[in-house]
Structure 1
Amino acid sequence: MGEPINADENPNEQAVDNIQVNRLERATHVGHADYIGVVEVSENLNVGVHHHHHAPQQQANIEADHLIPTPSSSHQHERTLKESADVIQQHQLKKLGSQSVLRGLNVNRTELPDVVQVLVESNIFEVKELPKNEPFIASTQEKKNRKLETSNIIPFNNLLTTMISVGFLALVGPPGCGKTTLAKRLAKSANFFVIFLRFMDLGYNLVLTPRELLIDFPFKDIDQTIRDNAFEWMLKNQDKCVFVFDGYDQSSWALGKENPPDVSYETSLPIQQLVANFCCKNFFRNSLLVFTSRYHTIRSIPSRTLRPKTAVIVGDLPTDGMKKLFLAYAGDQGDRLWITLSSNAPQLIELCRNPLLLQFVVFAGLHGNVNKINTTTKVFIHVLLQLEYSSHKQGLAFNELVKPLGEMAYDAMVRQTVVFTRDDLNRAGLKDVNVQDFVIEIAFCPTLFDGDNSVFCFTHQMLQEMFAASYICNVMPDSMFNQIIHQVVYKSHWSMVRRFTCGLLLNDESKNSKTDQFRSELIKFIDTTALSRNQMLDLLTDIQECSDEEKDILAKYFPSQFDFFSTPITSSALRGLAQILPRLNRPVGSLNFSSCNLTCASLTLICAGIKEMKHEVHNLDLRDNKFGDEGIRIITGCANHLTKLWVEGCGVSDDGKLIISDELERIGIPKKQAIRVAETLIR
């Protein structure tokens, strides 16, 4: 293995730079004759692997050997290559089209509105040191653990330019955020020939040539001559090729610290070295490369020359885009369902910023009692109940899977991983057919469990966390529960499991012998821990999974000071706060929302909770939130519960000052004093 080289000294990068202008011209030429399309590879590559060992040759000579038709037949030869590439495209696109209908919601993929997530370009790789082992990140913590040293939001139309300019791009984000879908859309809009490979299908024991990886095994049912021609077309048209490696976080192996050896196209390599050769452009040097992954996994690639040159964070759906998708999935009942959830369960609206979870929420709302399905736990219970009716062929009945899957999910949480192996299945007494035949027919994701015959994972991490919570609450012996519940409550990587546990044990329907012990541990956490701002926000969201009776009990132990200075706050957490404040049996010393980017909608939730309080808030600090006069009108509704109000730097006009002074006068403060107080508050 060679020593790592500095990216600035990589001799292949000059070749990449020379083709950028041509790529940009072609990418903006819709309908260009060179357009091929998108090919997705998702078949198992572990079967029937042949190992070929050839003497190494210079890369230029190898490429030339593939590319020499006679001059007189050159035009016809090029046409034949192009037609063969078209066959590869059509073969895979036909398979993709068979999964285009969202059966549980009766929606066709092609009829959905064109919505793009918030995209942020980031220099996540420009750090001095990277930890050797990145931690498991809970679903609740995914966004909080992103520290972007420098970042900027980019429109989708500029994403193609970014990809072309760097040559190797990572699309990163939490499970279900749409990374793969975005990669496909990006490739289609670019008019490139694209092949999709899933890391999950690339088992650690594979030894392949580039041709075997890209063409032979994925399309082994296609005529050999067509495959020969298609690969030759790819070699001759490298600047028209994009290779998307999907789900690095689900790989059973990791890229190493060193550069791979520079070998020929005919050399068989272990899969780690083969992919590394794509990363450093030893193979298909003029092609474009895209990785998709969760943030913390892609960031842990140790070698600079093997890392993507830049990363684009795939963020939440914007509010308007989220609502468009929501209404499209919900159909005629969309407006009613949106209004009901926004009022009764805004935490579920927050879930809808993730495209996959949006589908879960809509399905649960349409097919259950929308007034009762008002927690995240109930949404997932409703989704999992539908698996009882899944059209599986070889597997066990779903109720026979709940215990072993739950135990396996719990063990993975202990080991802090989302990836399962065949050994994990065997220990749980399961086989791959037991877990892969269950179709989640309510979403554009094929199965409950995903993977090949060696590596597996739940389709979404929150499904793993839900199964783990169900095992803890309903199956785990009480003696073991008493030993582990402390870490579930206190440790951050268990935070989503804790939320589901609140929904399973602290509700009106399914309390059991573990309820008292869990409640006691949660009270200790609230009452004796110096909670960080983010921990408090998580707790306020957890509270909404509980029954009203449990909220009354837990509220007694919340602090009398709430400091959220300069911390983004979701409407879900604010609604939780609005439910806790009226339940407090004492005054609140301080509510600090300074520099929290509050909106008028945020203020409405805060003031609704304050208005219902039995006691006062001594200090409400709203400084440096740009809500203007409209926000002042909202605040006056709870003014009689406030001792001091701080609203400097909030964009309030002279009219806003008058609004406050009038309200202060109305509640009994003399006019002159009211005006003086208003002038002092607003500067």
Structure 2
Amino acid sequence: MGITAMTSIIQGTGGDVHFTVKDQAKFKVVLDQSTSRRKDVNYRRLIAVINRHTQQETAGGIREDFKNEILCEPDFEVFPQMKKVRVADYYKGRFRKENPSAAETSISRSELTEEIGFHRQQDNDGKWIKIEEIMESISKTDELPPRDEVGYTAIVASAGSGKTTLMRRIARKALGISTVKEKGERAPSHPRRKMIHYMELKNMQEENGIKASKFLFGGLFETEFEEDEAYKWLLENQSEAIIIFDGLDQMKWDFEESTLRDIKTFENASTSTIMCNILSRRILRHAKIIVSSREFKVSELPAKARPKEIITLNGLTPQSAYKLFTYLLFENGKRLWEKIKSMSPRLLQLVSVPVFLILIAVEMGIDPNRPPPSTVTELYSRIMLILRSVEYIRNRKQILSIINKLKEMAFEGVKEGRVVFYKADLDRFGVSADEVQDLMTKVPGNNILSRHLMEGDFTFFFCHQSMQEFLAACFVSELKLETYSLFDSQQLHEKQWSVVRRFVTGIVYMNYTSDVHSGK
């Protein structure tokens, strides 16, 4: 008797037919298998949508923000030096000035030590690790740990250290690991993760009254029902999921004790509360979660929401920096590297920071005969000069006016703690999306920066957070003395201005030395 006939009998449409207890048991097994199969197909589709989204979000090479005719896309990967440090030592040694016994309490801004440079100094304590060890750790699904040992991994580093590139590579590698083994290949010794979900937190804004399912999967599916179903699967199969949150420091919210309240499965709550529930492992406690952030945001987390594992990025090795730089510039690579060594040896310290290496390659690739920049501020100033010289807009005054408006918008963004802007923001500062796109599309005489400085059809963001901070520093350095003094006393000391402060110092110094050389 087939499953269709059996179903008809149960529903009373197949006549007055009777079957044995054995037949009933057989029917129940077949029906359960059919229902389970339908569920599997449904959930597989939902998981496939999420994994496909991760694949799309993490696609692109190392020069994604600077697609051009000069840089060559590497056919290899280099990674920053990574070190796993003990969380207790990290908080007590890196951020605490005194009273280390209070490590489990929240840390106030006044107790923070300053970051040194644009990337972390190498930690004296800890264990050097490789990407293979990270992937081995996140791919396996061992027995669930005790509740007090559940936590998440934080990738912590300062501006330009390669956090986003690393997170994208981890996501892509996890997608590869999550696939089913091909026929004939040796079966894995541990279960594989099925769902790999990558989220860029800069796109999340503070909202009240959304569900965790919407927070995680909003925009991925056509219906709210599918979002809820995907979340149900995640709750029931947490150990089979990896969730990667990139850019915790780019979220426009603060973590407070009030946001640590428990929430129910489909309860509406603020994005801060949902994120705190995830970090404190009140929800999704058995999913593998990886978060990237600059140091200051990790330092401000409530004790209950702190990571159980911290991995710091410590810059590229000289060998990796050389290999990447010379490949990016291909024929001119080795010659320009030697030029840096002979004319600006201090620049070799900067190329250990991935974003600076890329920008230096762009700047020197455009004009190989020019002496290399000697400081970070000079580097960013030259990039801005390149953007000012766009041939697409002939009116130089118009270009300068637009850049000046972007300076103020960048300043307000840092002030408000956000890196994402909308058309309303452009309207507010008197610049159109078309003007911004035109300005940032070309470099004179070359198709160098075919990706815009700001990008997105409906949302806009600078190609790198440090570019926004440089423009904000330009705005600060141009403030009237009275206005600057007020800003300096009230806000400039706060942690989100850390990189801006360095740029301001560099800009003021450059202006001073320029005045000295010109006889002013």
Fold agreement, TM-score > 0.5:
yes
Aligned with residue 504 of structure 2, among 497, 503, 520 = 497
Residue 549 of structure 1 is matched in structure 2 by: none
Q: Compared with structure 1, are the counterparts of its residues 320 and 171 closer, same or farther at alpha carbon in structure 2 (3 Å cutoff)? A: same
CA contact (8 A) 1:168 1:288 kept: yes
CA contact (8 A) 2:411 2:475 kept: yes
Q: Compared with structure 1, are the counterparts of its residues 231 and 428 closer, same or farther at alpha carbon in structure 2 (3 Å cutoff)? A: closer
Aligned with residue 196 of structure 2, among 194, 197, 201 = 194
Q: Work out the CA distance in 1 between the residues paired with 2:398 and 2:55.
A: 32
Which stretch of structure 1 is more off in the superposition, 180-189 or 325-334? Answer: 180-189
Aligned with residue 155 of structure 1, among 107, 123, 130 = 130
Post-superposition CA distance 1:455-488 (Å, at most 9, x none)? x875545434533554466x555x659979999x
Q: Work out the CA distance in 1 between the residues paired with 2:338 and 2:422.
A: 45
Q: Does 1:72 align with 2:34?
A: yes
CA contact (8 A) 2:83 2:312 kept: yes
Q: Compared with structure 1, are the counterparts of its residues 98 and 361 closer, same or farther at alpha carbon in structure 2 (3 Å cutoff)? A: closer
Q: Work out the CA distance in 1 between the residues paired with 2:488 and 2:374.
A: 23
Structure 1 residue 201, shift from structure 2 partner: 2.2
Residue 380 of structure 1 is matched in structure 2 by: 380
Q: Work out the CA distance in 2 between the residues paired with 1:320 and 1:262.
A: 48
- Which one-letter code corresponds to 1:219 in the other structure? L
- Which one-letter code corresponds to 1:133 in the other structure? R
Residue 176 of structure 1 is matched in structure 2 by: 160
- Backbone CA RMSD of aligned residues: 4.5
Q: Compared with structure 1, are the counterparts of its residues 501 and 384 closer, same or farther at alpha carbon in structure 2 (3 Å cutoff)? A: same
Q: How does 1:277-288 map to 2 (within 5 A)?
A: 277-288=277-288
CA contact (8 A) 1:279 1:307 kept: yes
Q: Work out the CA distance in 2 between the residues paired with 1:225 and 1:267.
A: 15
CA contact (8 A) 1:327 1:335 kept: yes
Residue 205 of structure 2 is matched in structure 1 by: 203
Q: Compared with structure 1, are the counterparts of its residues 147 and 345 closer, same or farther at alpha carbon in structure 2 (3 Å cutoff)? A: closer
Q: Compared with structure 1, are the counterparts of its residues 261 and 381 closer, same or farther at alpha carbon in structure 2 (3 Å cutoff)? A: closer
Residue 219 of structure 1 is matched in structure 2 by: 220
Q: Work out the CA distance in 1 between the residues paired with 2:370 and 2:129.
A: 39
- Which one-letter code corresponds to 1:375 in the other structure? S
Per the normalisation by structure 2, the TM-score is 0.68
Q: Does 1:251 align with 2:242?
A: no
Structure 1 residue 211, shift from structure 2 partner: 1.6
Residue 208 of structure 1 aligns to a residue in which SS? coil
CA contact (8 A) 1:235 1:284 kept: yes
Residue 153 of structure 1 aligns to a residue in which SS? strand
CA contact (8 A) 1:138 1:495 kept: no
Q: Work out the CA distance in 1 between the residues paired with 2:109 and 2:427.
A: 25
CA contact (8 A) 2:119 2:160 kept: no
Residue 81 of structure 2 is matched in structure 1 by: 118
Post-superposition CA distance 1:373-430 (Å, at most 9, x none)? 33334432332233343989xxx954222323334556788x6967688899589734
Aligned with residue 467 of structure 1, among 461, 471, 474 = 471
Structure 1 residue 298, shift from structure 2 partner: 0.7
Structure 2: stretches of 5+ with no match in the other structure = 1-30, 93-99, 178-192
Structure 1 residue 340, shift from structure 2 partner: 0.6
Residue 291 of structure 1 aligns to a residue in which SS? strand
Q: Compared with structure 1, are the counterparts of its residues 141 and 432 closer, same or farther at alpha carbon in structure 2 (3 Å cutoff)? A: farther
Post-superposition CA distance 1:170-194 (Å, at most 9, x none)? 1111122111221222233343422
Structure 1 residue 88, shift from structure 2 partner: 3.4
Residue 403 of structure 1 is matched in structure 2 by: 404
Q: Compared with structure 1, are the counterparts of its residues 362 and 157 closer, same or farther at alpha carbon in structure 2 (3 Å cutoff)? A: same
Q: Work out the CA distance in 2 between the residues paired with 1:233 and 1:266.
A: 13
Q: Work out the CA distance in 2 between the residues paired with 1:498 and 1:379.
A: 14
Residue 90 of structure 1 is matched in structure 2 by: 52
Post-superposition CA distance 1:195-225 (Å, at most 9, x none)? 222332222224321221222x2214x4777
CA contact (8 A) 2:118 2:158 kept: yes
Q: Work out the CA distance in 2 between the residues paired with 1:342 and 1:218.
A: 49
Q: Work out the CA distance in 1 between the residues paired with 2:51 and 2:342.
A: 47
Structure 1 residue 169, shift from structure 2 partner: 0.7
Q: Work out the CA distance in 2 between the residues paired with 1:200 and 1:272.
A: 13
Q: Work out the CA distance in 2 between the residues paired with 1:155 and 1:284.
A: 27
Q: Compared with structure 1, are the counterparts of its residues 435 and 253 closer, same or farther at alpha carbon in structure 2 (3 Å cutoff)? A: farther
Structure 1 residue 314, shift from structure 2 partner: 1.4
Q: Work out the CA distance in 1 between the residues paired with 2:132 and 2:357.
A: 24
Q: How does 1:27-426 map to 2 (within 5 A)?
A: 70-91=32-53, 93-94=55-56, 96-97=58-59, 102-107=66-71, 111-122=74-85, 123=87, 124-125=90-91, 127=100, 128-129=102-103, 130-133=106-109, 141-143=117-119, 150-161=125-136, 167-190=151-174, 191=177, 192=193, 193-215=195-217, 217-220=218-221, 222=222, 230-257=230-257, 260-302=260-302, 304-376=303-375, 377-388=377-388, 389=390, 398-407=399-408
Q: Work out the CA distance in 2 between the residues paired with 1:481 and 1:261.
A: 40
CA contact (8 A) 1:465 1:497 kept: no
CA contact (8 A) 2:107 2:299 kept: no
Aligned residues: 431
Residue 341 of structure 1 aligns to a residue in which SS? helix
Q: Work out the CA distance in 2 between the residues paired with 1:195 and 1:343.
A: 46
Q: Compared with structure 1, are the counterparts of its residues 147 and 321 closer, same or farther at alpha carbon in structure 2 (3 Å cutoff)? A: closer
Higher alpha-carbon Rg: 1
Per the normalisation by structure 1, the TM-score is 0.53
Structure 1 residue 162, shift from structure 2 partner: 5.2
